[in-house]
A and B are shown apart, each in its own frame.
Chain A
Amino acid sequence: MKEFLLILKGDGMNHLSPDELQNVFGQYKAWVGELGAKYLDGQRLEENGALLNNKEDDILTDGPFLESKEIIAGFFLIQAKDQEEANQIAASSPHLGLYRIEVRPIAFPKMN
């Protein structure tokens, strides 16, 4: 088993109505349930924060610093056999469509 980070980009849910959000919630809960032990973690990120380019320049605060479709909205950490299975898991996520999802394997898998 390998670990994969699913990086969600965009601002898809900001434009949904409360009823639509509740619908996504139901689908998401079912998705996590189906994944079982393959689902490890998931967090959402706030849009603001800071950007540090190098040691010399001022720290930029009060983001967002990117176009809304490039903003990282959050991530899921999952386990999968290989990239293909990880891709399939991402494809079955109810977040896909609302967000673009980058599926990246974690380097240096845990030794166990």
Chain B
Amino acid sequence: MTQQSDQIVEHLFRNEYGKLVATLTGIFGPSNIQIAEDIVQDTLITAINHWGSGKIPDNPTGWLVQVAKRKALNELKRNKMMQTHHQSGLLSHPNDQEASTIFLEDEIADSQLRMIFTCCHPSLNPESQIALTLKTLCGFGVKEVASALLTTESTINKRLYRAKTSIRNSDLPFDIPQGKELHMRLETVCLTLYLLFNEGYNSTASDSVIRKELCLEAIRLCKLMVDRFEDNRQLSALLALMCFHTARFDARIDDHGAIILFEDQDRSKWNTELINLGMQYLQRSMNEKSLSAYHIEASIAAEHCMAKSFESTDWRSIHNLYRLLEKIKPNPIIGLNLAIIQSKLDGIEASLVLLEKLSENAALKHYHLLPATQGIFNMKLQKYEKAITYLQKALELEPSLAENEYIKAKILECKKEG
């Protein structure tokens, strides 16, 4: 890092923001996350001023840490003065010496882990957990969080406000849980990271860049957890799952942002490095008696990633894995997947019978992918009129923009053929 450079690495500010906010929260306590965020924001603006008109320091990260530390210590002094004036105990850890050791490298990683446990505390609802994680740990701005989660800035502001208020009111500690509590808390962390990842992965919104970054951030945080809690098989399985899915991220969308169905994807575009990493973590996760849903989902993704082509996929194994998953985590979407895989085992018509049955399930009444699948399957059987009816039904259920385009194109195709 001694090379003098005119530029700084991409996302340096964002990455350091997350680390510094976690570190400063260690000084000010989780009740004062806002103070930590303000100081880090100020640190970055100071960097713009100094680096912009002068030289970029040899070690930009070290520079940011030093400045943030100085600003934090000043804030502590200022608050001590205010406390003697107003007799109000604003800060929970006003100890200068403690503050200095907190900036050592190991401590920074440690602070991030504490921050993960704080953001994923079971007393916060999942929506708030995700928003707070993205804002504080991942350094996304409110606008960016909103666009990643397909909602408005004011909604995100409300979620953040609620989360911070709740942390203050319940006076959450900033620590890594121990003993029996640890296991339970790790489950919540897994679930939050899983949901965060899905937010990035599952929707094919137009702004796919930020959504991929969401996936990469989920991987980064999960990796931090796996490195610390090596024996936790669930975490390894979850990380494997994330690697497999992210490996296929770019192959899912063409240059114009249109969806490419799984069977049509160019497998050479899959990221083999991530697939190999996924296999490593999947293996690490595999020597324990208890099997989590993450294990099975990762195994299913692994089957897909290992298949040389769509045709040579081991559908029997995948079907078995889905059946297992259905037992552990009953969910009508899994039923839909099982019905679709049935088409590979016993043909499309057998699958359509299952899909028809599923359409009576109340939970799937408004799920556009069910009629969309029925439409596509009917197309394959050259029953174009029937296909159009199903596809139009899917359109009425408000699919995403890219899905909408895809379904419309299919309807046109049916009309030409029929």
- Residues of A whose CB lies within 8 Å of any CB of B are 13-14, 16-22, 24-26, 28-29, 31-32, 39, 41-44, 48, 62, 74
Complex Cα spacing A42 to B46, Å: 11
B47 at interface, CB cutoff 8 A: yes
Rounded to whole Å, the gap between the CB of B152 and the closest CB of chain A is 16
Of the candidates A18, A29, A41, A43, the one whose C-beta lies within 8 Å of that of B51 is A29
A25 B52 Cβ-Cβ under 8 A = yes
Across-interface contacts of A19 in B (CB, < 8 A): 11, 13-14, 139-141, 144
Q: Name the A residues within 8 Å of B17 (CB-CB).
A: 18
Given contacts A29-B51, A32-B53, A39-B53, contact A18 B139 (CB under 8 A): yes
Whether the pair B141, A16 counts as a contact (CB closer than 8 A) is yes
Interface SS majority for chain B: helix
The smallest beta-carbon distance between B77 and chain A, in angstroms, is 12
A17–B47 alpha-carbon span in the complex (Å): 14
Q: Does B48 contact A (CB under 8 A)?
A: yes
Q: Is B220 an interface residue (CB 8 A)?
A: no
User: How many residues on the B side are at the interface (Cβ–Cβ under 8 A)?
Assistant: 27
Task: Find out whether the CB atom of A25 lies under 8 angstroms from the CB atom of B14.
Answer: no
Q: Are B49 and A17 in contact (CB under 8 A)?
A: no
A17 contacts B48, CB within 8 Å? no
Chain B residues, Cβ within 8 Å of A43:
49
Nearest CB to that of A25 among chain B residues? B48
Flag whether B41 is at the interface (Cβ < 8 A). yes
Q: How far is the CB of B78 from chain A (nearest CB, A)?
A: 8
Residues of A close to B51: CB separation below 8 A? 25, 29
Q: Which residues of the other chain, A, contact B277 by a CB distance below 8 angstroms?
A: none
> Given A14, A16, A29, which contacts B52 in the complex, CB threshold below 8 Å?
A29
* Nearest chain B residue, comparing its CB with the CB of A26: B7
B1 at interface by CB-CB < 8 Å: no
CB distance from B79 to the nearest CB of A (A): 11
Query: Which of B6, B11, B41, B78 contacts A22 (CB under 8 A)?
Result: B11
C-alpha gap A31/B143 in the complex (Å): 26
Which of chain A's residues have a CB closer than 8 A to the CB of B47?
25
Contact A32 B52 (CB under 8 A): yes
Query: How far apart sit A62 and B85, CA to CA, in the bound complex (Å)?
Result: 12
Q: Are B52 and A18 in contact (CB under 8 A)?
A: no
Contact present for A21 and B49 (CB under 8 Å): no
Residue in A17, A26, A42 whose Cβ sees the most chain B Cβ within 10 Å: A17
Contacts A25-B48, A29-B51 known; list 6 others, CB within 8 Å: A17-B140, A18-B44, A29-B52, A32-B52, A44-B45, A74-B49
Give CA–CA (A41, B141) in the complex, Å.
Answer: 30
Residues of A near B46 (CB, < 8 A) are: 44
Nearest-CB distance from B30 to chain A (Å)?
21
The chain A residue with its CB closest to the CB of B41 is A14
User: Given A14-B41, A17-B144, is A22 in contact with B12 using a C-beta cutoff of 8 Å?
Assistant: yes
- Given the interface pairs A14-B41, A32-B53, A42-B53, the reply to whether A21 lies near B48 with Cβ below 8 Å is yes
Q: Please, how many angstroms separate the alpha-carbon atoms of A18 and B17 in the complex?
A: 7
Residue of A17, A41, A48 touching B14 (CB-CB under 8 A): A17
Q: Are A13 and B52 also in contact (CB < 8 A) when A18-B14, A22-B11, A22-B13 are?
A: no
Contact A17 B143 (CB under 8 A): yes
Contact with A along B319-333 (1 / 0, CB 8 A): 000000000000000
Shortest beta-carbon distance, B241 to chain A, in Å? 27
Q: How far is the CA of A12 from the CA of B250 in the complex (A)?
A: 35
Asked if B261 lies at the interface with its beta carbon under 8 angstroms from chain A, I say no
Is residue B8 within 8 Å, beta carbon to beta carbon, of the partner chain? yes
Contact B14 A28 (CB under 8 A): no
Q: Decide: B141 and A28 in contact? CB cutoff 8 A.
A: no
Bound together, the chains give a CA A75 to CA B373 distance in angstroms of 61
Query: Once the chains are docked, how many angstroms separate the CA of A48 from the CA of B79?
Result: 13
Whose C-beta in chain B lies nearest to the C-beta of A27? B52
